[in-house]
Structure 1
Amino acid sequence: MAERFIGEIYQKVDAKARVSIPAAFRAILQADDPLASNSQRPRLYMVYGGKKRNFVECYSKLGAEKLAEDIESMEDGSPERIKAELNLITRSVMVEVEPDGRIVLPPRVREKIGLAGEVPEKSEVVFAGRSNRFRIYRRDVYDAEFGAIDDDDDDDIDPLTLVGRHKRKD
């Protein structure tokens, strides 16, 4: 079974827009990138498309390939595929993780999460695990949306009940 991106990890962003990738996330990126065993620089695919998204969605090399395969299975030329290609393939960028575990957030990524231009002092982002991918939010945006642990409970349904409703029948 493959490792999963889990947890919420708060990281500082320096004035040069550098941020450390959490160690557990780096290990998954390394394992999912066949070329990384030679270079020790795993690739990270950062998707900044989607007008309503206030985050950047990040994939390992294998995760990005799976996403591309899913999009390629859509009907060629369909409006859905065109939208998916634009927002998930075209509006993305590949970066290599430095040997020290950091990346420089690319300009379009900074723009997407609200850190365009000069990065304010004491800026922070949140790496939010999503199983086969993770998201990067500006900390204040993440905290406003997900900050309190119990705020996401709109009703009294246990989250495991929701999982059970959609469980695969293998």
Structure 2
Amino acid sequence: MARRFRGESVHKVDSKGRVSIPAPFRRVLEEGDPDWVSGGNPNLVLVYGRRGRNCLEGYSIRAMEEVDDLIAALPRYSREREILERMINTQSMYAQVDENGRMVLPAKLREMIGVTKDATFAGMGDKFQIWEPAAYKADMERIDDWLSDQTDDTDPFALLDRARLGG
């Protein structure tokens, strides 16, 4: 089983948009890049086209191939496939981790999510998210609000059983 992106951390963003990727995330990116060799720099894909998400999503090359396969399984000329291709393929870019464990966040993407001085990295299993820290905190508060609205006996981990059982 492949490693997963786990944990959260805040990293400084310099004036050129360079930001350190958490070391455990770099290991996942290395493992998920079929072209990576020891001593080399792994590649990744940054997706910025998800509507309603105030963050970027980073995928290893292999994880992005899985997403691409799901899109390709849709009928070739369907509207759904075209929409997903536009949101995922058109609004994404390749990036590379440099020899110092950093990547460059282009100005366009930093502006899109409001990142200036710091960026929060949040592991999400097969992907990770990059947030402006206050926006990440607000998103976590929305999750807390949702949990507060549930009955006392609601266990969100029970959703895992539902997923395992297919519904």
TM-score (norm 2): 0.89
| Candidates 125, 148, 153, aligned match of 1:131 | 125
| Candidates 137, 142, 165, aligned match of 1:143 | 137
Distance 1:147 1:12 in 2: 23
1:41 counterpart residue number: 41
Does the C-alpha gap of structure 1 residues 125 and 147 become closer, same or farther in structure 2, counting only changes over 3 Å? Answer: farther
Distance 1:74 1:131 in 2: 24
Report the CA distance between 1:149 and its aligned residue. 8.1
Preserved contact between residue 57 and residue 136 of structure 1 (Cα < 8 Å): yes
Trace 1:1-170 onto structure 2 (pairs within 5 A).
1-37=1-37, 40-115=40-115, 119=116, 123-147=117-141, 150-153=144-147, 154-155=149-150, 156=152, 157-168=154-165
Query: Root-mean-square deviation (CA), in Å?
Result: 1.9
Distance 1:39 1:94 in 2: 20
Does the C-alpha gap of structure 1 residues 66 and 162 become closer, same or farther in structure 2, counting only changes over 3 Å? Answer: same
Q: Percent identity?
A: 40
Structure 1 unaligned blocks of 5 or more: none
Distance 1:108 1:92 in 2: 12
Preserved contact between residue 2 and residue 31 of structure 2 (Cα < 8 Å): no
Partner-residue secondary structure (3-state), 2:10: strand
Preserved contact between residue 146 and residue 152 of structure 1 (Cα < 8 Å): no
Distance 2:77 2:112 in 1: 27
- Residue type at the aligned position of 1:163: L
Report the CA distance between 1:77 and its aligned residue. 1.7
Preserved contact between residue 33 and residue 44 of structure 2 (Cα < 8 Å): no
Report the CA distance between 1:148 and its aligned residue. 8.5
Distance 1:47 1:16 in 2: 20
Report the CA distance between 1:138 and its aligned residue. 0.8
Distance 1:168 1:129 in 2: 25
Number of residue pairs matched by the alignment: 163
Distance 1:108 1:39 in 2: 30
TM-score (norm 1): 0.88
- Residue type at the aligned position of 2:22: P
Report the CA distance between 1:64 and its aligned residue. 1.0
